[in-house]
Structure formats: structure tokens, C-alpha cells
């Protein structure tokens, strides 16, 4: 799975290499090997609208579902492409970047296709008339950060304004559907919009941070030269810059 219980491993293969000044090449080699395996074996295309998604592999069987958690991969692939040892124009980097952009679009669709504008915890791809449907046993929205993270990274690297537009739509849906008198609430079902009496700490620590940075260019974060975000959205400096 690229979602729950597996996502941070793949993220840190790349980021350990970056934070260490690109000197510990074993992490980069492991990352590229893992990304090739994911793209060769787990990336699929839906019907009828040809959305790119990352499936799961369980006991040798492909499970055509995609977690919201897996949406971190779009940004991670883009970051890996822009820092690729063979250069951004290499075929491997271009494949990673193209796949990352395609996954980002699918993750945006996971929000925009529901009337609430919010994504369920996962979607099932069934190649029906709507490409996917909300997970039957997980229709809830927990204010997760992975899509916001990917939108920020892709905008930061490419400066394509579409990622800002998608992020702004997501923020507006969050503001409209989850805001309460005292905080922001998780949602039990993205169709019924019944609120839960809880707000996960990652909402402020990650989701809002990425959405803010996405819309604001007045910051010193530089993912290509000076900073690495850990999996909890803390910006850390490249080790050679730490005094």
C-alpha cells in the first residue's frame, strides 16, 4: 500500500537523501527503484475518464482503491523528478513528473466530484460511468493534508497556477462544510455532511500550513536548495546549512 502504514517510508527514502545533501546515494537508489515498481505495477488508468490512480497489492492481487493518504505521492514524485541525479529532462524524471501531475489531478477529482467538495477517506475504482465511488466503509473526511501537500509542492516547483486554483477550491469547501463555532470538524460522510465532535491535530499542523503556503509566495521555503518537509510538515533545513 502507498497509503496507510506505508506512505512515510517512501517519502523518507527521498527526503533522507535530500536532507543529507544528496550524499547517501543508497536512499536515492532505493527510492527510484521503489518508484519504478509503483509505476510499473500499481499505477492504473480508470474508465471512462482516464484518471491515473495508484492501486494496492494484497497477496498478489490488485485492489483497485486509492486512499486519500496516497495522494502525497503526486508531490513526492514531482520533488523526486526535479532533484533527479540524471536531471529533470531525463526520461526517468519526466516519467515521475508526469505521473505525479496525473495523480494530483485525480486527487483533486476526489474532492470536486462530491457535492460537498470534500474527499472521502478512500475511493474505489470500478470502471463505471463515474470512474470511482466513495469507499463503502470509509465515507468520512478527516481534514487530511496529503492533497494540500501535493498541490503546494507542485505549485512551488512548476509555478502552474492550476494547483493554486485547486487548492483554493478545497479550502473553500473546508471552510464552508467543516467550520464550527469553535474549530473545524471531521465529517462522518461526505454526502450527508454530518459533523463529528473532533478535529485532528494534523489539520492545523499540516493541512492549513500547506494551504497557506500554496497561496503565499512571501516565504523562505526552497525545496530544491534549503529545506525538506518531514512527514508532519515541519520544514527542516538541509544538514549542511544547520549551524
DSSP lists the bridge partners of residue 237 as: 227
From 56, 121, 146, 206, active-site residue? 121
The span from the first CA to the last CA of the chain, in angstroms, equals 38
Residues belonging to the chain? 243
Neighbours of 222 (CB within 10 A): 11
Cβ neighbors of 51 (< 8 A, separation 6 or more) are 45, 102, 105, 106, 109, 125, 131, 132
For the record, the C-alpha cell of 17 comes out as 537523501
CA–CA gap between residue 232 and residue 213 (Å, rounded): 15
Are 101 and 78 in contact, with CB atoms under 8 Å apart? yes
Rg of the chain taking only CA atoms, in angstroms: 18
Neighbours of 187 (CB within 10 A): 23
Neighbours of 72 (CB within 10 A): 26
Catalytic annotation present for 121: yes
Three-state SS at 195: strand
CA distances 109 to 27, 59, 84, 120, 213, Å, are: 32, 29, 28, 11, 21
Catalytic residue positions, numbered: 121
Amino acid at each position: 500500500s502507498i497509503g496507510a502504514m506505508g506512505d512515510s517510508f517512501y517519502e523518507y527514502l527521498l527526503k533522507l537523501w535530500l536532507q543529507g545533501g544528496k550524499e547517501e546515494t543508497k536512499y536515492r537508489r532505493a527510492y527510484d527503484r521503489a518508484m519504478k515498481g509503483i509505476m510499473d505495477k500499481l499505477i492504473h488508468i480508470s474508465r471512462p475518464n482516464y484518471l491515473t490512480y495508484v492501486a494496492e497489492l494484497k497477496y498478489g492481487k490488485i485492489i483497485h482503491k486509492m486512499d486519500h493518504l496516497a495522494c502525497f505521492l503526486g508531490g513526492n514524485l514531482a520533488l523526486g523528478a526535479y532533484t533527479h541525479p540524471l536531471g529533470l529532462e531525463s526520461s526517468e524524471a519526466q516519467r515521475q513528473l508526469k505521473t505525479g501531475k496525473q495523480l494530483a489531478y485525480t486527487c483533486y477529482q476526489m474532492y470536486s466530484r462530491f457535492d460537498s467538495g470534500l474527499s472521502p477517506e478512500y475511493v474505489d475504482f470500478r470502471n463505471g460511468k463515474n470512474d470511482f465511488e466513495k469507499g463503502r466503509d470509509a465515507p468520512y473526511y478527516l481534514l487530511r493534508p496529503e492533497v494540500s501537500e501535493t498541490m503546494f509542492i507542485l505549485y512551488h516547483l512548476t509555478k502552474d497556477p492550476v494547483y493554486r486554483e485547486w487548492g483554493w477550491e478545497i479550502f473553500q469547501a473546508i471552510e464552508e462544510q467543516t467550520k464550527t463555532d469553535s474549530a473545524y470538524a471531521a465529517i462522518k460522510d461526505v454526502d450527508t455532511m454530518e459533523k463529528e465532535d473532533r478535529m485532528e491535530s494534523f489539520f492545523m499542523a499540516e493541512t492549513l500550513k500547506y494551504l497557506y503556503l500554496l497561496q503565499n509566495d512571501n516565504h523562505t521555503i526552497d525545496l530544491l536548495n534549503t529545506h525538506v518537509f518531514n512527514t508532519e510538515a515541519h520544514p527542516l533545513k538541509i544538514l549542511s546549512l544547520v549551524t
